[in-house]
Amino acid sequence: MHHWDLYWQTTHSLNSFVDHHSTGYKDEVEQFWLSCFSQCYSAGKILDIATGNGSLAVAAQRYLDLHGLQGEVWATDAADINPVRHFSSQPELVALLQKINFYPKVQTEQLPFLADYFSLAVSQFGFEYAQVMTAFQQVFRVLKPGGCFQAIVHHANSFISEDTDNSLKLLDMVLVQLTLTQDACSVLEYAEQKIKQAVMLKTDAHFSALNQQLIAKVQQFYQHCINSNNEAWFNAFAADFIPLLTNLQPGALLKMTALEQSLVSYRLRLAEQKDCRWSESQVQQLKAQLSALEWQQVQIEPFYTSEGLYGWALSITKAS
């Protein structure tokens, strides 16, 4: 869980899709949730499960404010989140976040709320990280009779999952097969020692050998990325990696170590995402199991955006 703590404590985005949805979900995803709120909510409390930095909770709070509804938004996450501190330069967003009741370090399998407490529970790319059937039992418990649970969860065949698999392969090359960051740390550590000893690195044979070995590995990785249509991925990696080796400024080793740690953390998050996504066969099994919990109107269907298959859209209602 430390890698998720670190991510949400250092990411200035409401969710993990920092490129397009950093201040809230947009396009088809936004419309999905607006439709959910309009169809499934009339009064009472809303629970956002696995909220991250609060993207879906913010969408719910915006909906309440826009329609003049007196409900409340509550949000949980297993990580040690504190969303408000990230958005001091966006007072409108901070005002929304401050209205939300955030519960950090809360497992979905152990929701700390009374039974029959919420009118609506929602989750996007978070509920599936829990032990699913135990989590469903908890959501069932805290929902009022007639309450609804809506979620978008990872699909094994989505374009997001394909990108995850691709990134995991590239990260394995960087961290395990080629050990690029580990070797870079060795180069920088040796360089810092020699600089302190006033040794000219240009004339140091061992430094030259270490450097050439690293350059050869970087070139190998670059060629692999070109051949596999991952040039953009390489460029993003190189933008952080290369400057630390070319400038040899004080603190470069510390920054390279931090870069390596961030890549390790990223790899752990992607590996968890891969493990928790739902296949078609798993969804069929879940539908059968959920009937035993007295859920009504169990629907789990593929959800598409303009980019392709995005995830599973789940909609189930607790019996009245």
The predicted-structure confidence for 12-25, as pLDDT tens digits, reads as follows 777 666 455 556 67
* Predicted local distance difference test score (pLDDT) of residue 16: 65
Tens digits of residue pLDDT in 143-165: 999 999 999 999 999 999 999 99
* 251/158 Cα distance (integer angstroms): 41
Q: In what order do the strands lie in the sheet with 118-124?
A: 101-103, 72-76, 45-48, 118-124, 143-153, 308-318, 295-305
Question: pTM, whole model, 2 decimals?
Answer: 0.91
Q: Do you know the residue count of the chain? A: 320
* Predicted local distance difference test score (pLDDT) of residue 292: 77
Structure tokens at 98: 């401050």
* 108/101 Cα distance (integer angstroms): 16
* Predicted local distance difference test score (pLDDT) of residue 15: 66
* Predicted local distance difference test score (pLDDT) of residue 201: 83
- Residue 122: which region, alpha, beta or left (left: phi > 0; alpha: psi -120 to 50)? beta
* 318/291 Cα distance (integer angstroms): 11
Closest C-alpha to 273, from 176, 158, 178, 134: 158
Mark out the alpha helices in the chain (DSSP H runs).
2-10, 27-40, 55-66, 91-99, 132-142, 159-172, 180-196, 205-227, 231-246, 252-276, 280-290
* 134/144 Cα distance (integer angstroms): 18
* Predicted local distance difference test score (pLDDT) of residue 199: 84
Strand partners, 309: 304
Tens digits of residue pLDDT in 43-54: 999 999 999 999
* Predicted local distance difference test score (pLDDT) of residue 18: 47
Torsion angle in degrees (nearest 10) through CA of 50, 54, 55, 60: 100
Contact 49, 139 (CB under 8 A): yes
Structure tokens at 148: 């609804």
Mark out the alpha helices in 41-83 (DSSP H runs).
55-66
Contact 273, 164 (CB under 8 A): yes
* Predicted local distance difference test score (pLDDT) of residue 136: 95
Say what percent of the chain tops pLDDT 90: 76
Three-state secondary-structure class, residue 119: strand
Contact 168, 270 (CB under 8 A): yes
Structure tokens at 235: 């460029």
Which ranges of the chain have pLDDT less than 70?
1, 15-24
Contact 151, 178 (CB under 8 A): no
